[in-house]
Structure 1
Amino acid sequence: MRTTLARKLGIRVSLLQSGMGGVAGPDLACAVSEAGAAGCAGGYKLVGDAMSAMLGRLVAGTGHPVGVNLIEEVVGSRTLAEQVGQVLDETPRHVYLSLFGPADDAVLERITAAGRKLVVQVGTVEDGLRAAAHGAIVVAQGTGAGGHLLGTVHRDDLVAELRTLLPDACIVAAGGIGSPAAAAGAVAAGADGVLLGTAFVVARESMAHPYFKTAVCDSAEADTVITDVYGIGWPGRPHRVLATDVTRDPDQPRNFIGRTVVEGKPYVVPRFSAAVPTVTTSGRIEEMAMYCGLSCGDISQEVAAADIVAGFARVLPGPATLESEKG
């Protein structure tokens, strides 16, 4: 029987926050979860003490369902297994795991066998079917999404095809959703909830650099491009970003253009790095990867995460909506 995202995860609003690496730290994730949706912190390349520090803040910040996003394509299967093990060992059961892109069946089985809720973001029908076979909440990402793109299909088309093949699965729409009207449209197209990324880049609790936030607020759809230039650290995956001098001239030298700090450890940032500019980043921010979806045209100011959730709550199903409609 089909159910809402809210009922599936035990939250009040059928809304997922994207676990954007660098941008989505524990402060943002916990604020979203405390507001009644499902927050998610970006695990990205964190392992060992750095991962433990992040998980500690996440668990301390909320007792509501909250997630950790991991990406096998970036870290490889061995590191992913280590990350999953840390999340399972160091967090209580209200912490769910979110995977961006496909992962080995063994990983999916390990997560669900531990009794954790599993979210898998996909860009193809094939990957959606495999994720659903493991009981995952399936996030159908369309090409309007900001960040790395998992497929070549429009969001509503992917949702519709997955819904036909998976009538009882929990399917979440992602990509180009920046307004309650767009969210309502995605639900009408067959989704059981929505995932927002770009909308939360500009949240007050987001770790995005102020320049990044302002650029998103000042941009429209035409200011975004799909490219593959920001490939250092994550090669071979096209991504939608705000157009910059780097996207316009990809033949520039791979010089260091800035510095950043992740969990207390300093790093240099080369031109063409996949890393986003955060509040700990300095240098040529305007040349860095500023992931941004087509939803930017509906986003005009920095607001609190709770206000973003509240704005979408009125159009998204709650935990009993589909069940009551069935009755």
Structure 2
Amino acid sequence: MRSSVARALGVRVSLLQSGMGGVAGAELACAVSNAGAAGCVGGYKLTDQALSALLGRLVEGTDNPVGVNLIPEVAGPKLLDSQVAQVLDETPDRVYLSLFGVPDDAVMKRISGAGRHLVVQVGTVEDGERAAGQGAVVVAQGTEAGGHLLGTSPRDDLVAALRTRLPESCLAAAGGIGSPDTARRALAAGADGVLLGTAFVIAHESRAHARFKSAVAGAKGGETVITTVYEIGWPGRRHRVLATSVTETPEQPARFIGRTVVEGKPYLVPRFSAAVPTEATSGRIEEMALYCGLSCDDLSEETPAAGVVAAYARVLPGVRDRDGSDGSDASHGSDVSHESDNEEARNGNVRR
């Protein structure tokens, strides 16, 4: 019998938070995990002392399962190997690893072999099969998603195709999910939970710049575009962003348009940078990469992360707390029973 995301990761609600580089710091990840879902920090290219500082804040901020997101195609084999080693060496077993895209099988085997939960986001059926083969929770990302896109299929089409090929695997749906009703549709397509990105960009604990949050909260899906212009730091990958003067006139020079600080180190931000504007960024925010999914149609105001989790807990499959309270009062939306999830939690077998 296949598992819900909640049971697979040992959380109460089958909700994953996207580990968005820059935006998803330890404060957001811990707030999501403390609310009963699966929080996640963005590791991006961090390593050595900078990564250690982030991991330290993550471990101190929650006693619940929480993740670290890494990007194989951006890091490259050598940096990814170093990042994985640091996470495994410097964090307890409750910290899971989330990969955006599929790395070499050896990387996934190393993570699973260390006893860590593994989450892999994919955009194709073939990549989903590879990740599932290594025991990962597979996140099916549709083209409705904000940020970088891993495939060309709409969310529910990809979920349905993966469910056909992977009837026993744990699948989460991602892309364009901005309301519990949309989450229900993803469950009906065959998902065992959902991953949210854009909804957490405007969360209170998000590190997104205030003007970035405001732009997303006031946007409609028709104001987003799929482009390749924000390629400095992450070339060759299409991404969905809010339309800006840069997406409309990409022949502009790649001059510096701002400054930012990452783990205490200052950086200049060039036009066409893949980096998002954070609370530590200054300059021409309106020209920077404002990643935003079609879910913005259903988003209108900044909300605490716990409020986001609570809204979705009503429709997503959950695992009961040890005190007997239920993380969800909704059915799964498929023919799979999750009573075994609740029973395992009652017996104390869900890892915390």
**TM-score after normalising by structure 1:** 0.99
In 2, Cα distance between equivalents of 1:325 and 1:85: 34
In 2, Cα distance between equivalents of 1:2 and 1:95: 22
Q: Give the structure 2 partner of residue 324 of structure 1.
A: 339
The C-alpha deviation readout for 1:207-254, integer Å capped at 9, x for no partner, is 000000000000001010000000000000000000000000000000
Q: Give the structure 2 partner of residue 233 of structure 1.
A: 233
User: Residue 179 of structure 1 contacts residue 298 of structure 1 at CA under 8 Å; is this kept in 2?
Assistant: yes
Q: Give the structure 1 partner of residue 77 of structure 2.
A: 77
SS of residue matched to 1:143: coil
SS of residue matched to 1:46: coil
Kindly report the root-mean-square deviation, in angstroms, between the aligned alpha carbons of the 2 structures.
1.2
SS of residue matched to 1:67: strand
Q: Which amino acid aligns with 1:148?
A: H
Give the C-alpha shift of residue 319 in structure 1.
2.6
Q: Which amino acid aligns with 1:233?
A: G
Give the C-alpha shift of residue 324 in structure 1.
2.4
Q: Give the structure 2 partner of residue 289 of structure 1.
A: 289
In 2, Cα distance between equivalents of 1:80 and 1:274: 19
Give the C-alpha shift of residue 307 in structure 1.
0.3
In structure 2, list runs of 5 or more residues that go unmatched: 321-331, 344-352
Give the C-alpha shift of residue 325 in structure 1.
8.5
Give the C-alpha shift of residue 189 in structure 1.
1.0
In 1, Cα distance between equivalents of 2:300 and 2:33: 23
In 1, Cα distance between equivalents of 2:102 and 2:248: 31
Give the C-alpha shift of residue 323 in structure 1.
2.9
Superposed, 1:106-121 pairs within 5 Å as 106-121=106-121
Q: Which amino acid aligns with 1:120?
A: V
**TM-score after normalising by structure 2:** 0.92
Give the C-alpha shift of residue 109 in structure 1.
0.4
Superposed, 1:1-327 pairs within 5 Å as 1-319=1-319, 322-324=337-339
Q: Which amino acid aligns with 2:72?
A: E
Give the C-alpha shift of residue 102 in structure 1.
1.0
In 1, Cα distance between equivalents of 2:186 and 2:146: 17
In 2, Cα distance between equivalents of 1:155 and 1:140: 7
User: Residue 25 of structure 1 contacts residue 207 of structure 1 at CA under 8 Å; is this kept in 2?
Assistant: yes
In 1, Cα distance between equivalents of 2:26 and 2:184: 28
In 1, Cα distance between equivalents of 2:136 and 2:74: 21
User: Residue 19 of structure 2 contacts residue 69 of structure 2 at CA under 8 Å; is this kept in 1?
Assistant: yes
User: Residue 5 of structure 1 contacts residue 319 of structure 1 at CA under 8 Å; is this kept in 2?
Assistant: no
